[in-house]
Structure 1
């Protein structure tokens, strides 16, 4: 699979590199960066005469995997994402060049443990934390006083053998430790859904699908075997699970049977198609003629009783505009140097329909645009699931009855409206 892994800054500088099958010259990163400079969005897979380059871009950094032979690219992308998720689990939500340099030993050791000869090996956070202690204030003080590293000096294989045989801190289920105890047993489920849709200029849905995930925060004692049921599991398509889920039970009964990891983890991803009712509508009326044009955009809610918040409408304007006299009755707006108007509405009020309207004046001698670029919308609705998915019941094999908390969040994904 991977021959080498490079972590780059947003300016193309190499922060860290790891090689499994011979050292690959750093010039391969220059080739990748040349592709990046040629276009704003670099392709996730780039083919060179000798190598295949697979990359993901996350805030502040690029993760670049180099392969010498063909391999399923989605597997490589998923592994790169898993590495980034482990970094977040260890070092916090913001991964920067300074953070990686400050925790260089931890970062390098994590990469070493997560891949064996370039193939995914140990990717469970609980398992990794048994071998590599996360950095913290106390551990840094201890290291500064004693001069000892938080990372074990034993080889990974020896470490795992000791853990399994002598300490018994990990059982046959590698994602969960044994001997976990909590004073209050509780488990929380977050149903997070994103709407990807395209709406034509007449308000009809051209395409729409919902991409969802089920996030879990588990604080249960012992080794609980859980059975989770949904109200309508048949509507879920393209489902992928955490390794703890018994897939045969889902195939046969549409029931999730699993022994959960301790702490926070993603239990499943899914997709729902056939959504015909959207919670937010955007009605743009944009027209141009000689010398300028008129803009009128209405935003509102429908088919939802919950509060719609964090609403931002992005309206691309012609590059030839010279001035505007736009006004809005809710929120505020700004036009940047790229002639893109961002209208920050915030919460949509119940007693008023947000509206942005006004005239646009273009530079003399410039013809009116042939067509308008799509308008994009961002929003968030708490305690609401656009698909209607909900948790019906939760059964636990342990003697105690855990407290179960369920909440849903619906957000916009790629929400485009043609003007």
Structure 2
């Protein structure tokens, strides 16, 4: 074959590939509303059933994009210091393209009671599982980034049916799992202002709309920040909160915060435990905080890559999952490949990589003067968490700290990594708050 013919064949093949992609994308755009059940006229505060039904053309388009990936050169070092290693990501993407089945994830969601309701102008998606046990305590539990409702699913059984998981009927919860606005199947805000405080207010509306006059709140990552905001707002009926991630800025002693900000040595009076916390915080701020700085200042810019390239999206998320699991750098030792890809694929199919990034911008643009929390609060410190303050520091933010415990396994994604231990912690933490 001549060079001219080879070039022509390549051009035709490429044109066919692009045409097929364009057709698939067009069909996907037309079919996209099928993800939700229909939208007949509803009252503004109606609670509508929801079912996930991703059109097949969207999965075909995902496979096409994965197959057409243009890979970067390998990293020039032998570790993860430059980011996700090419061979690690290629192995994950190869499985994503040839072995992973989204329909199993979809069935997992559709086996649960899912709903949408409009709060403050946005459709909020949530899972609602009522316990069979009388006197169950209502609990709203919020995911984080780069997580989703998938990171909480393994706790549904232990929390709603504790007698089947080593607990007692007195420890049961009615469980509400919402998707944060701009994440998953919740609507994407079309304007600014959806910061954690506004979301916290929406969660109180949601719980009361479901008929719960009293309840508790739990969260990790952004879910913890939202639970903290709920604690500051202290709406009528909120009995208390539990978090497995603590806001650093609200708990650091002033001299420690000053040393971190200025790059000065740790204050001499710190204990060995406090010095270890200081050193970890400095390491994170100097080497692990870049993702948040980008999304907190330029979420739209990073959003183009997250929206257009599934591998770009996967790399951005996989990097932080690998950083934050208990098995540092080896997320597949804490989570299965299917679990990791369920989460990433949800972001891809809903195109919420860009919209989820904006919560960092919203938080940075808001009022960051954090008042203390006076309602009952509980804290569990998992050893793989990024920031692990001692109890005396935690009490600076939580003025009514009713429970503080350090456990021996689990990381930032505690509910995802250690669902049984996590559930046992929630039972113990909220036990004093159950109505008599």
Same fold, judged at TM 0.5 (above): no
> Which structure would you say has the larger RCO, counting Cα contacts within 8 Å and 6 or more residues apart?
2
- For Structure 1 versus Structure 2, the TM-score category normalised by the shorter chain is under 0.3
TM-score (norm 1): 0.23
Looking at secondary structure, tell me which structure has more helix per residue.
2
TM-score (norm 2): 0.22
